[in-house]
Structure 1
Amino acid sequence: EISKENSGFFIYRNGRLIRWGDDLDGIITKDDFNVRIRMDLETAHDDVLHVDITKQRLEIDDETRNKLKAIVDKALVTAKNIRVDCQDKLKSTKNEEGLGFTATIENVSEDDPDLITGQLNSEIIKRRNDSAIDGENAKQELDIKIDDEAHHSFRKIVYSEKVDYGMVWKAFYDATEGVFVGINKNHPFYKEFLSRYPENSTERIVSEALIFSVGLAERNTRDNFVEVDVEIFNRIFKKFHNNVNNWLAEWSGENINLAE
């Protein structure tokens, strides 16, 4: 649980903290995480480390640095192994992605708030039928198993490597179950952030809720706003998803160490 800002050497002189988060002449690098080293100095060490009059600046000679580095390198190997093990544990999967979120929306309506219940004209019905056909095709394309033997649950959020390139997610409509959303496992946002949270954790479910809400809004807009031609919607939402994809990909790359 040692953050990047709290890594490195914490150097005390006669019990008083004089340096913190120090790399001590590059012994600890900016890529070394979850390692903190406490060094206790006394007045007798002032000459060895060339402590200046402010008692806050010091210099380390090559011989002392090499001795310290030999000790610290062992700790860095341990820290790296722990970090890798923790990341593997967080990423371990039980094929339960999306189940926790699905359970949270059993009593949450997906109806368009601008559409009176039962107010379905022929154009809306036609669009929903077309969407349902696309949804059936998507189940096969995304390898979605509706009758999951282990859980027998239709997942409203599904993770797949087959979501269209250039999309963080894609929303579909099922004639029986309603809207479901496929999240792109190849996108940097999933790889660097979503996947770091355990399946069905609060952090993951909250993120899924945000994505699902946008997917639901898109599907309701496409299917129920019949005043706009479908092809115009296709162009608008293609532009929309392209912007979301590009921004989140760049943001994920710039903040790759944020979750550390």
Structure 2
Amino acid sequence: MWCKRCQQDAPGIANGEGGMACARCGSTVRTSPTAAGEKRSADEMAALASAALADDAPTTDTWQLDAELTEAERLLAAFSPLAVPADASLVIASQAARTHRFDPEVKRRDELEKPPAIGGFVAWILLLAGTMALVCGGVLIGWSLYAGRAALWNLGLPILLAGQAGLLLGVVLQLVRIWQNHRAAAERLAAVDRQLGDLEQTTTLLGNTYGAGSSTFFAHLAEGASPHLLLADLKGQMDLLAMKMSGK
């Protein structure tokens, strides 16, 4: 390569500007049009790539759509035939049995609220002792009036008053015990009613598992049924659809 500054042939090296420089003096000898064009083309390609990346950047609508698609896939996976056991009735029956099992805490609470036997025993003792003291005091007072003995009056009056107090206290305790028995019986009846309602709901769930399709769902929807019952209707319909699709 001929260098104008060195006035001789010198080996050329490529510089950073896309041209050729002299290896001895470092002056630029000439700029390669091809290299310049390639550099310009590379810059244009980089600009186009940046614009394409800017256009492909995810927007808020894209993120929202992705979130909705993810939620739809999750729901489809939850209600897919692969997620439903073969015998759906046994699964619902077991779930209902676990859900509506008699709670030991309720049983323990009923046992704690049951009136203690010692309370009834004390009430009967007070009633018996009060009645005996009342009768004894009355007899002593009557005898003192009949015989004119003031000592019997002084002895019979305190016994009579103590008998009345004991009798009144025994009656109050007995009334409290009767009220407690009535409340315990009402709570037991309410518990039985709840268990009957749970049994009816379980039977309805089992019947809706292989029930009459969408008519059951719309009937319960018109009646204002609970969301759990409506969900059971939909699950039963999806189970039927899965069984029909697997049969085909």
Larger RCO: 1 or 2 (CA < 8 Å, sep 6+): 1
Same fold (TM over 0.5): no
TM-score, normalisation: structure 1: 0.21
Q: Which of the two has greater strand per residue? A: 1
Question: Per residue, is there more helix in 1 or in 2?
Answer: 2
Max radius of gyration: which structure? 2
TM-score (norm 2): 0.22
